[in-house]
Amino acid sequence: MADASGRYGVAGQGPEGQGVRDLPVRGRAVCTGFIESVTHQPPSEQPFFSAVVVDSVRPGGGVPNMGAGGVRKPYERLRVIWLGRTRVPGIEAGVKLRLKGMVTQVDGLPAMFNPRYEILSRQEHL
């Protein structure tokens, strides 16, 4: 339901939403993060466009949120999947965005299918 400002949100979350590591296992959520990578499907496959979203991006391309022994902890990445699309405008590595959708589990990791999104900032290319 919309609040007084007309924005839709989930109880207990600010306007930016929560970080990737705070997402529920299942249910509606608003999440803010950075696109770490995107995946394009070959033309011979069913069309879908996928991105991995993380809470922060380190300068120089370092991998954030590494656990002991260099192993990434689960739930510090969110897979976002747009079905029936081969590209989503504005979605590229380094972009900060807010996502709104249903969280589900795919192969043991959180995922959102066809979420609403808002681009908050883009990396500047020098």
**Predicted local distance difference test score (pLDDT) of residue 62:** 44
Percent of the chain with pLDDT over 70: 70
**Predicted local distance difference test score (pLDDT) of residue 66:** 45
Per-residue pLDDT reduced to its tens digit, 60-90:
444 444 444 444 444 689 999 999 998 899 9
User: Which residues are within 8 A (CB) of 124 and not within 5 positions of it... i.e. 6 or more apart?
Assistant: none
**Predicted local distance difference test score (pLDDT) of residue 108:** 85
**Predicted local distance difference test score (pLDDT) of residue 76:** 86
- What does the buried/exposed string (b/e) look like for 86-110 if buried means 16 or more CB atoms within 10 Å of the residue's CB? eeeeebeeebbbbbbbebeeeeeeb
Radius of gyration (C-alpha) of the chain in whole angstroms: 15
Confidence of residue 54 (pLDDT cuts 50, 70, 90): very high
Query: How many angstroms separate the CA atoms of 96 and 55, rounded?
Result: 9
**Predicted local distance difference test score (pLDDT) of residue 95:** 95
**Predicted local distance difference test score (pLDDT) of residue 56:** 82
**Predicted local distance difference test score (pLDDT) of residue 14:** 53
Amino acid identity of residue 83, one-letter, is L
Task: State the pTM of this model.
Answer: 0.72
Per-residue pLDDT reduced to its tens digit, 93-120:
999 999 999 999 998 889 999 999 999 9
